[in-house]
Amino acid sequence: MTSAVTTDKSARPGYGQLLRTPGALSFVLPGFAARLPFGMLTISILLLVQHSTGSYGDAGIVAAVTGVSMALFAPVMGKLTDRRGQSAVLVPAVLVHAVAVSALTALALIGTPLWVLALAAVPAGASVPQVGPMVRSRWAAKLEGSPLLPTAAAFESVTDEFTFVVGPVLATALCTGVHPAAGLATEAALTLLGGLFFAAQRSTEPKATPALANGEKRAAALSFPGLRVLVVAFIGIGAVFGGMQVSLAAFSNEIGNPGANGMLYGVFAAGNMIAGIAMGAIAWKIGPRRRLILGYVGLTAAASLLWAANSVVLLGALGLVVGLCIAPALITGYTMIEQLIPAASRTEAFTWLTGAVAFGQAGAVTLAGRLTDAHGSSYGFLVPLVATVVALATLLALRAKLAPTAPSRIVSSSSTGTTSSSAATAPVTRNRVNERGIGHRTPVTVD
């Protein structure tokens, strides 16, 4: 697997050079606007429903239904994108999502029963557009064979991190400082406008691959064991986000200072951003599999102390450390997809990871909401701890599945664009397959 294992700074072109790539900003900027709402959706639902029902448990159920729906439908959307093209899938998705979120917001404001809100949450979650994976696919298609491709992967991971941590902060500020429904209203508007603008950038859209040449079957992304391991690991990360959102809000209410929630989550977000930017700038000397495991070791250790925090200062410091530990795990996992999954199924693979985060977040807000209602915020913080322990144990037990043997079996014909799982290459060489199925051989370093 690759990891840019070198101390030669010239081997890692900078972010500035990447963004000067012709046409890059035309999809990077609208892509960011369209996927920022992903980080706003869960916390906006949580705060609005808690305001209308008075229960974190009920709010957690509605948020969980949204997250599970997104997790189940995201791979379907990714698979359709690989086959039919981004615009064909994205335009109807953002239109449906805007309508569904607006309906959910109205139902919450008029005080409809919990089961009605949960039912309305299904289309709101299922229609979340998978813009992040689409942006990654555009970079891969545009930078075929370029040394900027690893830099693009790092940049996208930092952008994803920014989405995951800044979105909730923005949503919290809107819901607590403007109106409980302001978060969802902004989420729907940004998704609609950003998504349509992104879909309009047709010149950088990768070609769809409705069928492979020579009648070969396209392998489902989840058929690769490495992706299945990463899905379990990313559920753990989602549980950290969900557990922190509920428990920080509950802790702030318990101390009589609801506004502290935004500050505490902001500190958590700052940790993620600092580590995320550093991850993209460092030329690593250790391989990605080892980095992934080390990231989860640190994350588990930090999460194990959250439940005992009894002051804003202590909780803020621990939140900062948790944030610093999330970025290495999250970024490394996304980066590994390029080596584990062939190009023809890569958008689908990215959506599995995005869905795993949503699924973990959904489960965590439900469990943490119930525990918080019954026993207080300290019990809600146990959810991230248990989830990260399970994720770390899975990585340690199945780390062999993340070895570079999987991509070494993925071979591409530069003339036909087909893929095959039967051929093999040398252990230290893999076939890098671009979005159009054209391969070129690149020496790599394994951990």
pLDDT at 145: 67
Task: Tell me what the mean pLDDT of segment 290-295 comes to.
Answer: 88
Q: Considering only residues 393 and 219, tell me which one the structure prediction assigns the higher pLDDT.
A: 393
pLDDT at 213: 52
Band (116; pLDDT cuts 50, 70, 90): very high
Check: CB of residue 143 under 8 Å from CB of residue 22. Answer: no
Q: Name residue 98's amino acid.
A: A
pLDDT at 80: 87
Check: CB of residue 362 under 8 Å from CB of residue 42. Answer: yes
Other CB atoms within a 10 A radius of the CB of residue 325 amount to 25
Task: Tell me what the mean pLDDT of segment 358-368 comes to.
Answer: 84
pLDDT at 110: 92
- What are 404-445's pLDDT values in tens digits? 544 434 433 333 333 333 333 333 333 333 333 333 333 344
Torsion on CA atoms 81, 70, 130, 338, rounded to nearest 10? -80
* 262/252 Cα distance (integer angstroms): 9
Positive or negative, the CA dihedral 312, 313, 314, 317 is: positive
Share of the chain above pLDDT 70, in %: 82
The DSSP bridge pattern shows strands 439-443 and 429-433 to be antiparallel
With a CB cutoff of 8 Å and minimum separation 6, the contacts of 250 are 56, 372, 376, 377, 380
Band (225; pLDDT cuts 50, 70, 90): confident
* 432/112 Cα distance (integer angstroms): 52
Identify any residues that bridge with 419 across adjacent strands, giving them in sequence order: 412
Q: Is 415 helix (H, G, I), strand (E, B) or coil?
A: coil
pLDDT at 418: 35
Task: Tell me what the mean pLDDT of segment 306-315 comes to.
Answer: 82
pLDDT at 419: 36
Question: Does position 106 have pLDDT exceeding 90, yes or no?
Answer: yes
DSSP 204: G
Domain count, the chain: 1
pLDDT at 232: 93
pLDDT at 256: 80
- What are 27-63's pLDDT values in tens digits? 888 888 888 888 888 889 989 998 988 888 888 889 8
Q: What is the CATH number of the domain that holds 40?
A: 1.20.1250.20
- What are 169-183's pLDDT values in tens digits? 888 889 988 999 999
Question: Does position 279 have pLDDT exceeding 80, yes or no?
Answer: no
Inter-CA distances, 241 with 157, 192, 253, 412, Å: 16, 24, 19, 38
In the predicted model, what is the mean pLDDT of the chain?
79
Q: Residue 371: inside a domain, yes or no?
A: yes
Where do we find the tokens 């978060």?
A: 183
Task: Tell me what the mean pLDDT of segment 73-82 comes to.
Answer: 85
* 2/428 Cα distance (integer angstroms): 10
pLDDT at 78: 83
Q: Residue 330: inside a domain, yes or no?
A: yes
Q: Residue 2: inside a domain, yes or no?
A: no
Question: Does position 215 have pLDDT exceeding 60, yes or no?
Answer: no
pLDDT at 430: 38
Segments forming the whole domain that contains residue 20 = 9-443
Q: Residue 400: inside a domain, yes or no?
A: yes
Phi first, then psi, for residue 429 (nearest 5°) are: -135, 140
Question: Does position 158 have pLDDT exceeding 90, yes or no?
Answer: no
pLDDT at 447: 57
Q: Name residue 212's amino acid.
A: L
Check: CB of residue 334 under 8 Å from CB of residue 153. Answer: yes
pTM of this structure: 0.71
* 416/166 Cα distance (integer angstroms): 43
* 56/50 Cα distance (integer angstroms): 5
Q: Residue 340: inside a domain, yes or no?
A: yes
Q: Residue 244: inside a domain, yes or no?
A: yes
Q: Considering only residues 361 and 184, tell me which one the structure prediction assigns the higher pLDDT.
A: 184
pLDDT at 434: 38
